[in-house]
Structure 1
Amino acid sequence: MGKGPGLYSDIGKKARDLLYKDYQADHKFTVTTYTSNGVAITSTGIKKGELLLADLFATVTVDEPAPGLKTIFSFIVPDQRSGKVELQYQHEYAGISTSIGLNANPLVNFSGVVGNNCVSVGTDLSFDTGSGNFTKLNAGLNFTHSDLIASLTLNDKGDTLNASYYHIVSPLTNTAVGAELTHSFSSNENTLTIGTQHALDPLTTVKARLNNYGRASGLIQHEWRPKSLFTISGEVDTRAIEKSAKVGLALALKP
């Protein structure tokens, strides 16, 4: 367990990754390369039906220019308005992240967390300088103890309450279970998603999830070379079995 509360984006991250990361309904190909001076370039191609989408994401990270400080510059091609600069600072009792877009009317984001590696509380704010409005007002609470993590967040300017739980069942086989309950105050709707993961061997992982609307998903992921992953995932609506299942393929290369 690391020291400090981490960043706001770490609140509930373990549960989110377990329940949603690597599930893919399309065909996706990703190549990430790193230069000697710390530039990471990720090229992505996604095939959605007959439509092929492609972009290039680049990040430049300056790690530890001062103790606990990290500077990140990122942009996406062909979106010329996507460039932004982010500063991250992590301390034993606090974690702060702030970013600003590199355009005429930038989006400014600030998030901060205070606490320790057991209990932390934080907020996440985004302000649109063009419209003069806050586009994001979130708050979160995180509790970590040994092999379990629980979090509670208030999102969408107070309209959505999200509670999540993550528990490591067996560290040896990377077996874990997780759940997420989301309540929308405006629609009075609840969404419950539960999931699990298990490592068949050191290079192969399987995951499964199910929500209260009857959507069941599963995936198998194999690391066929260091940091390069091949993933097959699928989803079926158990309340409408006659409908075709969604199947996704993803290949991620990190030479």
Structure 2
Amino acid sequence: MAVIGISTYREEASWGLWHQVADVQFAQYSDAVVAAGGVPVLLTPAPAGGPGLAAAATAVVSRLDGLIIAGGADVDPELYDAPAHPETAGIRPDRDAWELALLDAATALGIPTLGICRGMQLMAVHAGGTLQQHTPDEVGHTQHSPGGEVFGSTRISLAPGSQLAAAEGGEVVGPCHHHQSVATHPGFVPTGRAADGTLEAMERHAPEGDSAVFCVGVQWHPEMGADHAPIEALVRAAHGTPSP
């Protein structure tokens, strides 16, 4: 069975008698991995800037078959040399540093990787790209993130011949909860867009003649809906099984 690492938050949390700092993540990520035939492993944020950060990331990623960089707080705009937008909030340098180290290791080791929402955005930044810090400024509506705990619903057209189209078909309607999105994405090919033009999916393609490692970002949250196809495609890639 493929072992799939999932990045996590470090938060103040309450359970039973306890109110403590805890490493947490939505159970839907793990449930979707299990349903796809994988084994989920939660990857806790290592201390930002720690001397062993790169070594720790390499040690854990080398034991994985696949990696999910999960959704969450806004990426620090300093990472792409931009001033913070007034709506940019909740920046977590510890998580940014850890997940960037995980991406370094996954890239170096050729580990199949899926970025979800913030994860897709961080993949773009890791590659030298930039973000739209407040997508409503660009598209004129808030349907991608209606507010609070409510997920929006976005219809996404997928590029023919893409890995996502092989998994999903030509179109998908996905749960969404993001006020930021990818602006530039060096090394990635755009493979999915919403009707308003928002980039909803991207894939890293191998040089001609080389086999492509699964490296895909999706802006929607497949773990929160009934359609887990991107996660299923990651688990298949981690098994070394091609898409149907």
TM-score of the alignment, normalized to the shorter chain, above 0.5:
no
Pairwise TM-score range, normalised by the shorter structure: under 0.3
Kindly indicate which of the two structures has a greater share of residues assigned to helix. 2
Kindly indicate which of the two structures has a greater share of residues assigned to strand. 1
Greater Rg over alpha carbons, structure: 1
Q: TM-score, normalised by structure 2?
A: 0.28
Q: TM-score, normalised by structure 1?
A: 0.27
